[in-house]
Amino acid sequence: MNTSATGDGAQLLEIWLVRHGETDWSLSGQHTGRTDVPLTARGQDQARALSALLASRDFDRVLTSPMSRAKQTSELAGFGDKAHVEQQLREWDYGIYEGRSTADIQRDVPDWSVWTSDVPEGENLPRVTARAQGLIQNLLCNPGRIALFSHAHFSRALASCWVSGTAALGQHLMFDTAAVSILGFDRGTRVIRKWNLRQTDYEPR
């Protein structure tokens, strides 16, 4: 996979990945794909705090997952009138493992991991890779500074695809609730410019 820029327009693309705020299931470690779990009160506070981090940048586009936890995060961060739903930003489909933690699943399937194991009735790694790559190609066709409000596993998969062409490296990237990561270019090569930033540890340039 060639991860260099494909032309001058591609070099103008800067992707800001924003994970939604805390939910009851993110707090408990339950896999939350297609279940529409709302933000907790703390999650709402986290989302509001994002406005201070993001306000220093002008975004050409703001896209959000269709799930309410991501849409509400974008609204509380100050993008309610600008964010558009992008279906490709939805979280990994965990199939029969929806709502279960990794530790719980591993009692039945030792060494199970969403990154390396089968996901019956859901998405496996190749399917998520294909979805992330398709979204990247769409973003490259419409460059600019773009904010993507999404979820932990899919954002990690997207970042991995950005630099390596496959979602597999995402298993090595932690992404906290209401954190921000930035993807872009360095001398024409795709890079992760910043990772897992929170409002308390980000200093605007």
For the annotated catalytic residues, the residue numbers are: 20, 91
Residue 69, marked binder: yes
Residue 91, marked binder: yes
- Map residue 32 onto helix, strand or coil: coil
Residue 162, marked binder: no
Sheet order of strands, 189-197 included? 83-85, 61-64, 145-150, 14-19, 180-186, 189-197
Residue 16, marked binder: no
Tokens for 169, please give them.
């490296």
Residue 202, marked binder: no
Question: CB neighbours of 124 closer than 8 A, spacing ≥ 6?
Answer: 118
Ramachandran bin of 29, using left for φ above 0, alpha for ψ from -120 to 50, beta for the remaining angles: left
Residue 64, marked binder: no
What is the distance in angstroms between the CA of the first residue and the CA of the last residue of the chain?
32
Residue 100, marked binder: no
CB distance 168 to 125 below 8 Å: yes
- Residues making up the binding site: 32-33, 69, 91-94
Binding-site residue set for substrate: 32-33, 69, 91-94
